[in-house]
Structure 1
């Protein structure tokens, strides 16, 4: 029996050595979680034996338990490198249609040839669908997650339908009502500003807005006429649509414009599409009118007339040309934001995070990955930085949580334990040899 006890001690010491050696070997493995060999004594007796004199039957390895404490962060220059600070795992699948989820803390992700985010083994990072404008997810159920793709272009161009313009016109400007408006004659208007707009094919055009003061007679309010010219199209006679006149703007004695209504300049789609007017020469067609709104998009900024120089405080439009991808950013919630060269930005997905009731119950499958098991509990999906889920750090990797100093001390301890059990085995052998030599 003493032989068996010593042998079980040797086996336990060997298991401890193996576990420690594996921890040391993976000290630089991204997302690796150290393991700890846990042991229990072996004790067996019957109801008819005396428990007071029972010694025990040795030791057995109860489990090799992984320790999921946080590893330190290593910051990188790759925006697709991800690390979780706190609880949670990334979810990956081996192919696009698979629901065979594997879970990992190793966030060294990159793009494959089809622009999907994958890990080093080509497994697809899973994400939830989100609203492209707000980034809000529609569901955090794992069954709704899908591989995250990064499109290289912003898609089809979007024609301009609204221009938002807010400005201050100079109250000290002189009237120009005595002269007919002519965009080629600076004496016939007081101020002008331009903005780039886009047609249905994504081609850019310059839209120039002109302002001229026509009435300051007291007590009547100050009156300004507005005009637009498309692509400096001033060579054609007015009958052919070389410029379009908009609503007049009226200001009170305090310099605030008088409403209602809010003035605008409307460029009818039929006018823009008519080839005789020469606005569009590339085959593009506007589906809706183009409107120059004298306010900002939210309606909080409106034109003013103060004794100050002409100043544009808001000028924007809602069209885009085709754009190429210029950057990808991922915030602490896991929302993936793509920015494009045409000024567009769009939320693409939200990185899926998964947690378990018992992380030590997960089944290890290698490559710093785990799968669900009976003892781990069901996977629960969610988003980063909410509830019990940790925050996602972009351009960072979670290093191994192995403490090399501690492991070297454990290695020495395991070695001494092995030597002691070897000595016990040797003593048992000597005692048996002594008995066999009795004559």
Structure 2
């Protein structure tokens, strides 16, 4: 009896030594789970045996249980190494046999499949070409091909336009009495330079005017207001006219005699046109330049009575402009009329001296006291001048400077971003914003013009008309060209190369082809949407709160990342990332029912039950830690203590056998 008891103890202690030794041997094995021997006592039983205190018959090994407790997580330099924090097993395909493991040391084989060190393929949920997870389980495969380019179909710009900005235009003087040598404040004569001004005083266009004109015979004469107006008319966006019909020009004796009289206390001066005298203020006139300035500053409204020889644009006589009809009026050049200059001392009259003059400009007459149009004319045509109906105002004019993307003074705000065509070529799209005068009475609504340029060309081709953005009284966008969503649909873009030639990428839709928004995938044209729906107009500095577009160029695979949910993302050299798949995890109702088959893997058994498969970090499944592995959960110190105990147990059971043998020998020696 004692022999059996001792032998059973030796067997049990031997198993304990084996299990403890195996734990110690795998103390550094990634994903290893330690085991512990569970013992049970034995009692002899038989038909004749009985009693209340039966004698034990030794010990037996009931089970070797695995401990699936969490091991420590350590970091690695491999982006595909994974550790499970929590419940679950990786699913491995071993040539058709499904195994389960906690060891997450993974890499990529020659075919791009994610495998462990034994070339078992990791299983998960695959993704389509756009990176959308399908929910279908299979072997995870990494695509190493270049990422195909994607054209831009949507550009979202969340901006703030500064409501404190000024409208880039000038409100100019009323033209009821226009100085002979000026233009009602529209033009500032600074010597030989004429400047059109903004409301804030900055120049929008500047033209240098020469002081003299050379005649065919080589002599020179001062430049006339007509010629000045003609040069200003050549500037895009500016209409200019001059109202003077005469100018001093030296002719020798006349000017010389005039100079001799300047500064005399009894000096007087007057101009007569067609017999009508125009008073000239001579107080303070001491030089020829002072005299010219005095003439040019005299009121032209007094000339209206003499300008009666008028015809309309069709050449028909016009005698009355006092009705409601607005007429464009020209004055026929009448050099034969009596134009004289009278000057002299008090009580004496000097000789009449003629003054050369030229007809200039063209300005329409308004019978309802407001200017409706400014008519310009060929500056080389000397038969046109300006005219106001007697007793009528010309109203208030405004000059809005022409938009010029190369001149930052012609727009309030601008922002640029990169977009892409179907070949992955990058292009620069710039949005310009110009504040407009408020529509209507200006209450509760503001208006801006929006210009779009791609690579320096307007997206509207030859159409220079801007888009119109309106804002409510609270600063929120009301509409763009009437669209309450704030969307601009660009339908005429032809992608070009640096030489300005079409580069072969998809072009605009065919004439009559409808563009549906949002642009469906895959797109077939270069049409795209600029979404300004979240743009505001607050009293704050211009700002780009968010700006994003959905296009990109081609890219090469540069790395892999794994999220906590087990999603494998590919990183590309163009800055894009794409989902390639998601690692799947499996859990079991009875984890200890799994059968270890080596290589730190298990297979399911009847006792374990069927696997419950899902995505990491869902349900009871744990999360994934990338670039990490789970270390063995073996406590080496505890195992060394267990080893000593197992050794002691083995020796003690051997002593039981030795003692039993000695007793038996004693019995044999009895004679």
Q: TM-score, normalised by structure 1?
A: 0.84
User: Is 1:361 aligned to 2:593, yes or no?
Assistant: yes
Alpha-carbon distance in structure 2 between the residues aligned to 1:314 and 1:388: 38
Give the CA deviation at 1:31: 1.1
Q: How far apart in 2 are the matches of 1:392 and 1:276?
A: 46
RMSD: 3.1
Call closer, same or farther: CA 1:72–1:252 in 2, change over 3 Å: closer
Which of residues 209, 215, 225 in structure 1 aligns to 2:437?
Answer: 215
Q: 1:345-389 deviations in whole A, cap 9, x for unaligned?
A: 333323211111211111111111111112111111122233222
Inter-CA distance 434–335: structure 2 relative to 1 (3 Å threshold): same
Inter-partner Cα distance in structure 2 for 1:378 and 1:60: 30
1:57 CA drift (Å): 3.4
Residue 50 of structure 1: aligned partner:
50
Could you tell me which of 452, 459, 468 is aligned with 1:248?
A: 468
Q: Distance in 1 between matches of 2:99 and 2:9?
A: 36
- Bigger drift between 5-14 and 318-327 goes to 318-327
CA contact (8 A) 2:413 2:542 kept: yes
Aligned pairs for 1:37-116 within 5 A: 37-50=37-50, 54-95=54-95, 98=96, 100-116=97-113
Equivalent residue, structure 2, for 1:204: 426
Question: Which among 165, 168, 175 is matched to residue 175 of structure 1?
Answer: 168
Task: Give 1:283's aligned residue.
Answer: 504
Q: Which residue of 2 aligns with 1:155?
A: 147
| Partners of 1:385 and 1:168 in 2: CA distance | 40
Bigger Cα Rg: 2
Q: Does 1:231 align with 2:455?
A: yes
Matches within 5 A, 1:399-438: 399-438=631-670
Question: For structure 1, which segment, 156-165 or 214-223, has the greater mean C-alpha deviation from structure 2 after superposition?
Answer: 214-223
Q: Is 1:337 matched up with 2:330?
A: no
Alignment partners' CA distance in 1, 2:665 and 2:472: 118
Task: Determine if the alignment matches structure 1 residue 164 to structure 2 residue 156.
Answer: yes
Query: CA contact under 8 A between 1:89 and 1:354: conserved in structure 2?
Result: yes
Change beyond 3 A, Cα 1:252–1:412:
closer
Cα displacement (A) at 1:230: 1.9
User: Can you give the 5+ residue segments of structure 2 that lack an aligned partner in the other structure?
Assistant: 170-398, 508-523
Asked whether the equivalents of residues 490 and 530 of structure 2 are also in contact (C-alpha less than 8 Å), the reply is no
TM-score if structure 2 supplies the norm length? 0.57
State the shift of 1:19 in Å: 0.8
Between the two proteins, the alignment pairs up a number of residues equal to 420
C-alpha separation in 2, matches of 1:101 and 1:68: 20
Q: Find the residue that maps to 1:412 and give its secondary structure.
A: helix
Q: 1:244 to 1:407 in 2, by over 3 A?
A: farther
Q: Is the 1:40–1:59 contact (alpha carbons within 8 Å) kept by the matching residues of 2?
A: yes
Distance 1:374 1:19 in 2: 24
Q: Secondary structure at the match of 2:494?
A: helix
Secondary structure of 2:548's match?
A: strand
Pair 1:119-2:116 in alignment: yes
Local SS of the residue matching 1:71: coil
Aligned to 2:290: none
Structure 2 CA distance, aligned partners of 1:145 and 1:378?
Answer: 16
Structure 2 residue corresponding to 1:293, chosen from 530, 540, 557: 530
**1:178/1:118 CA distance change after superposition, 3 Å:** same
